Copies of this chain bind each other. A is one copy, B any other.
Amino acid sequence: MANITKKVSWSSRGDESGGGERTPLLNGSEELSGDGGMFHIGRLSTVDLEEDMTSDEVTFSFLSILDYDNSENQLFLEEERRMSFLGFKCLEISRWVICGLIGFLTGLIACCIDIAVENLAGVKYYVVKQNIEKFTEVGGLSISLILWAVLNSAFVMVGAVIVAFFEPGAAGSGIPQIKCYLNGVKIPRVVRLKTLVVKVCGVICSVAGGLAVGKEGPMIHSGAVVAAGVSQGRSTSLKKDFKIFEYFRRDTEKRDFVSAGAAAGVSAAFGAPVGGVLFSLEEGASFWNQMLTWRIFFASMISTFTLNFFLSIYNNKPGDLSSPGLINFGRFESDSVAYNLYEIPLFIVMGAAGGLLGALFNILNYWLTIFRIRYVHRPCLQVMEAMLVAPLGPDQSEDYPLQLFCADGEYNSMATAFFNTPERSVRSLFHNPPGSYNPLTLSLFTLTYFFLACWTYGLTVSAGVFIPSLLIGAAWGRLFGILLAAITPNGSVWAVPGKYALMGAAAQLGGIVRMTLSLTVIMVEATGNVTYGLPIMLVLLTAKIVGDYFVEGLYDIHIKLQSVPFLHLEAPATSHWLTAREVMGAPVTCFNRIEKVGTIVDVLSNTSTNHNGFPVVMPVAASDNLGKICGLILRSQLIVLLKHKVFVELARSRLTQRKLQLKDFRDAYPRFPPIQSIHVSQDERECMMDLTEFMNPTPYTVPQETSLPRVFKLFRALGLRHLVVVDSENRVVGLVTRKDLARYHLGKHGLEEMQLAQT
């Protein structure tokens, strides 16, 4: 019936020619492991790499799936019912307080990064300047250049070493990881305190070291880590439990706060609180929750405000809150640069160019990433690669090589573009008056920077790709504007190359990351001009459409390389052919309402299946091997039950035994111990466990005939992790998990079934 192309995925294709790290999908029934299981993923630069990469199949990563559906078991309902109206009010107030804290801390971190980068860069410039003054007379400019390169390399080395050796999870921009988290897949150690520290130090080093990087990706990641930490009221790394916010120790609540953190990060980076909210929504939230959105907005607002406030104090202008954001593109005054209706086609052409160049960037970076996965996986090699790129950074080439192309009058501003931090260069390209740049130099700059940025993304340093992309785009956009002014007779309208720089920047960034809505708003907020909203949106849409024709967005490529079962917004359009029966995993391991401990331990210990959710059934008849659904229980719940030895026999003997409470589950969250660490004696194996109180008695179910889009919608709208498929008798016939849905993919030739990596 279904015309599905069975096809290996992009990532698997890479592996076919490579080391074959993946096993093909055997059947759809198995599910990603949560905590005790293993998950083979392609070796990737942004995820830690183990030293011994000798075996063909190295298991080094535990992806876990988040569960946004509350397990409404008896314990939970009892707690909720005990809680008074006032209790709910207090919870709501705590949520706001936490969001305020998240915003405040994120803003503070942004402030620290800004000040640290500024000071380090200042020291660097000072040393080099001293050196130039000392040696220029004796003709030793090359010595200054070498000193410059050495300083840069030193900074980058520090940044690369801490990332490569201490916390590989802090590499890269962090946006793919946060995207995954918000989508419902947790990449290991992505929201740990150590990651945050390394990320912050790493980004300071890489920016101060003059790499072609930005601070915005790391800021977003930092915001998310802050949120995950603050909202739980404890730090497992520091082994400190503040005994507050215990109610929020579950996936649903934590994810909400992480969205707020990510938004606060965007907001601090660009001074774009609304853009931050939309970023979080675009990337993460699958259903709209108004209260949550307000809180996210609040966190974003507080974050920008905090950053501004402390920066204003630092700059000795306390209370001047007019320059929001770490990255400021300068305000486009609406009267100075307006656009006209007939310029819109030009902007669309620029959007298409951005899409093409973005696709090229992504393809090159994909090849490079594959190369890195295969050959540059040792930390020391990674550090060396980073140090190799460092002295190539454009800010050291301000004097010598490019002077060749510069007319004397243009020299200074061109030098500024090369010497400056990328943000300042973007600003200059947007706002410098016509005639500031020599077209030839600008072309060379674009070309150099394009390859440099492409090489840099994926290095083992903390680094964002927004600013380099904007810079590339601004450069060729300005070039476009200059050429346009040169070939058109009446120069008055076309004489403002700044707006073309802006459109080019939008096009290039859109072509690389393929965001539209949030990016439009971020650009509008960062430039402070709403007039350009429509053209920016058109440019971004064109860039996305053109770029998507060739290859996916940069973040999606990296997510795919990690074989993450990422759920897109909607089921593939042509997937009505498929029904739950075809996508579900079967047979399903079920438990009885009162189950033998030995059976449970055996099932949980079975590493070849690694299920995470188990339907609880009532046997219908002895002959019938399918039981009627009466609940759903999670691996993590069973583990807590086993740990506390909640056995029927023991409860009878020890009447005084404390009843297990929701608190016990919360205390174990999120790092539930593996089954191996729980000792169950032979006697205990014969005991029985009563799951009634702990299972979710009302799991969502669908009939077998439900179409895939319908299953998908249910899954995505409710943030499910398990969906039980039942027959007309309510008997469990299968279980749909995230991976069963993430397999289907709309390729160029219709529906394709990907082979996601699998235990």
Contacts and interface: CB of A to CB of B under 8 A. Distances in A.
A184 interface: no
Given A289-B570, A305-B534, A322-B334, 4 more contacts: A319-B340, A321-B339, A700-B702, A701-B701
Closest 9 CB pairs of A and B: A88-B573, A287-B287, A80-B576, A717-B717, A698-B706, A322-B334, A319-B340, A301-B534, A730-B730
A118 B178 CA distance: 51
Interface string A710-730: 100110011000000010111
Contacts of A628: 728-729
Interface in A493-531: 516-517, 520-521, 524-525, 528, 530-531
A70 B289 CA distance: 22
A521 to B, nearest CB: 6
B698 A576 contact: no
A225 B456 CA distance: 51
Contact of A531 (B70, B324, B541, B630): B324
Nearest to A577: B81
Contacts of A436: none
A352 interface: no
Nearest to A290: B569
B729 A718 contact: no
B533 A530 contact: no
Contacts of A138: none
A404 interface: no
Contacts of A698: 702-703, 705-707, 710
Nearest to A303: B534
The interface size bin for chain A is: 35 or more
> Which among A294, A320, A516, A570 has the greatest number of chain B C-beta atoms within 10 A?
A294
A531 B576 contact: no
Given A707-B77, A730-B728, A517 B85 contact: no
Interface string A273-297: 1100110011001111111011001
A655 interface: no
A735 to B, nearest CB: 17
29 contacts: A72-B710, A77-B576, A88-B574, A271-B530, A274-B278, A281-B288, A281-B293, A285-B288, A286-B288, A288-B288, A289-B569, A293-B517, A297-B520, A304-B534, A305-B534, A319-B341, A321-B339, A322-B338, A618-B728, A697-B705, A698-B703, A698-B705, A698-B706, A700-B702, A700-B714, A701-B701, A717-B717, A717-B718, A729-B730
A324 B277 CA distance: 23
A298 interface: yes
The dominant DSSP class at the A interface is mixed
Contact of A291 (B277, B285, B570): B570
A335 B322 contact: yes
Contact of A81 (B298, B525, B576, B750): B576
Interface in A549-584: 569-570, 573-574, 576-577
Interface string A727-739: 0111000000000
Interface in A12-71: 70
Interface of A: 70, 72, 77, 80-81, 83-85, 88, 271, 273-274, 277-278, 281-282, 285-291, 293-294, 297-298, 301-302, 304-305, 309, 319-322, 324, 334-335, 338-341, 516-517, 520-521, 524-525, 528, 530-531, 533-534, 537, 541, 569-570, 573-574, 576-577, 618, 628, 630, 697-698, 700-703, 705-707, 710, 713-714, 717-718, 726, 728-730, 746, 750
Contact of A750 (B85, B294, B710, B714): B85
A592 to B, nearest CB: 15
B290 A282 contact: yes
A490 to B, nearest CB: 14
Nearest to A282: B290
A291 B569 contact: yes
Contacts of A339: 321
A194 to B, nearest CB: 32
Contact of A321 (B302, B531, B746): B531
Contacts of A573: 85, 88
A598 B141 CA distance: 99
A172 to B, nearest CB: 24
A294 B338 contact: no
B537 A297 contact: yes
Contact of A322 (B277, B282, B531): B531
A257 to B, nearest CB: 17
A287 B286 contact: yes
A84 B751 CA distance: 11
A281 B282 CA distance: 13
> Which among A697, A703, A729 has the greatest number of chain B C-beta atoms within 10 A?
A703
Nearest to A576: B80
A17 to B, nearest CB: 28
A746 to B, nearest CB: 7
A714 B630 CA distance: 19
Contacts of A517: 277, 290, 293-294, 297
A574 B322 CA distance: 43
